[in-house]
Structure 1
């Protein structure tokens, strides 16, 4: 029942009650009830109606007001989280990205013979890993802030679709989303981590593969669990082991995340495509 309908009923019911009582009293009860007794019974009847029916209506109106206040607070919280996420993205995340680009440039210069000694190269690799980890933490924080607090407030699939659309717009790559994995199969933590995994794999394709097309596929395998695959038509890995030092920081972070959640992770070349696959097997 709508809030305005409740207010109307609360205002109308006492009037209808006293009007109906006076009609019945004057039409049918005058031979049996005196005027003085009828005058006393009128407020008593209104009081009884108020204590029974109107109290329930007032309680219902209070519940609606409470729900409305909670919705306003939740909306304000989501807006504030979105503002914080935007500030992180436009500030810290962008700075870390530029720093990682410069580190990648230093790495290419070293491979081309700039001549880092062993200690300097070790320090450089540690710095690069630290920057990457901080960047990953910031991006996870942004994803956590943008992700709704309650699962019912916004479908998780909408976040995945928005990720693909933004990536397609920012990079110009052709991205095909094939997703049949129900979000009910994932816990809240798994949703956040799988979202970060897909994003990281897509960024790796853009930065390293030189691909023209990218496929993102999520499959519900029923009793066997689920499967998520990011596939591209790029150049593939420079080394036989894609997690070898100097190439696989992004993939290493994906593998670490998968290990923490007991997911299986594979990254391999298959014909003309490179596949990064995350799977979860159900155990009964």
Structure 2
């Protein structure tokens, strides 16, 4: 029931109750109820009906108002996060990018071995700081508990922004119903997809990425993030600097999911599967 409908019912019920009582009183109970008693019964009947029906409507109205207030608070918080993310992107991220360009220019000059080594270390530091800033921007835009917007809307927005920011074409085929996932599963699956896309951004040198999910007949489901980048030979979890993959694996273990990362036909496939025993 909508907010407007509740308000109209609250306005109409007392008047309708009094009208029905007066009609009944004068056409049915006129010979049985005196005028004085009828006058006393009118407010009592109206009060009884109000207590019986209107209190529940008032509770519904209050709940609706609280939900509207929470939604306004979420929108305000989301806009503030977007503002901070935009300031980070326009300020620190762009400055780091310009610094990286200038370092490229310096590296083209003549340098001895010691200077080249220092420049390499400096470049690595700038690259790490740049990644930290980008991750902070991503966290601001897409918080770990994405309850400010519907979950599917958050996923689609993340994929679209990834494509716009990286220039990597993103194909989206999502068949997993949101109702099949618990609140915690939504949070963890969302974070895993984000980590997979971040890994594509940082390491894959890809031209295209595919995100898809499927529901299976045995009530299990799977989610795949696939890219046509360079990939990694062997066990991807053995790399010491791939903290994101390790966290993703720990997350899958905690949730009881199966996580596989494999290289097939020139593509890297990250698959998250929930199997029902």
Same fold (TM > 0.5): yes
Out of 110, 114, 117, the residue aligned to residue 113 of structure 2 is 117
Change (3 A) 1:53 1:99: same
In the alignment, structure 1 residue 21 sits paired with structure 2 residue 21: yes
In structure 1, what is the equivalent of residue 252 of structure 2?
none
Contact 2:261-2:269 within 8 A present in 1 as well: yes
Change (3 A) 1:9 1:264: closer
Contact 2:224-2:272 within 8 A present in 1 as well: yes
1:153-232 matches, cutoff 5 A: 154-168=153-167, 175-180=168-173, 187-201=189-203, 204=205, 214-220=207-213, 226-231=223-228
In the alignment, structure 1 residue 79 sits paired with structure 2 residue 69: no
> Using the alignment, how far apart are the partners of 1:27 and 1:278 within structure 2?
77
Structure number with greater Rg is 1
Contact 1:258-1:264 within 8 A present in 2 as well: no
In structure 1, what is the equivalent of residue 6 of structure 2?
6
In structure 1, what is the equivalent of residue 236 of structure 2?
none
- The SS at the match of 1:218 is strand
In structure 2, what is the equivalent of residue 36 of structure 1?
36
In structure 2, what is the equivalent of residue 171 of structure 1?
none
96-105 vs 5-14, greater mean Cα deviation: 96-105
> Using the alignment, how far apart are the partners of 1:62 and 1:281 within structure 2?
42
> Using the alignment, how far apart are the partners of 2:12 and 2:274 within structure 1?
59
- The SS at the match of 1:66 is helix
> Using the alignment, how far apart are the partners of 2:224 and 2:7 within structure 1?
53
Change (3 A) 1:160 1:253: farther
> Using the alignment, how far apart are the partners of 2:106 and 2:262 within structure 1?
29
TM-score, normalised via structure 2 length: 0.74
In structure 2, what is the equivalent of residue 259 of structure 1?
246
- Unaligned stretches of 5+ residues in structure 2: 234-238, 250-258
Deviation digits for residues 223-282 of structure 1, max 9, x if unmatched?
7965433226xxx79xxx99xxxxxxxxx89834223323666789x7xx6x55545577
What value does the CA root-mean-square deviation take over the aligned residues? 3.4
- The SS at the match of 1:137 is helix
> Using the alignment, how far apart are the partners of 1:100 and 1:142 within structure 2?
19
- The alignment of Structure 1 onto Structure 2 pairs a total of residues equal to 245
Contact 1:258-1:265 within 8 A present in 2 as well: no
Change (3 A) 1:52 1:82: same
> Using the alignment, how far apart are the partners of 1:47 and 1:256 within structure 2?
66
> Using the alignment, how far apart are the partners of 1:48 and 1:224 within structure 2?
53
> Using the alignment, how far apart are the partners of 1:49 and 1:282 within structure 2?
52
- The SS at the match of 2:228 is strand
Q: How far is 1:104 from its partner?
A: 3.1
Change (3 A) 1:217 1:68: same
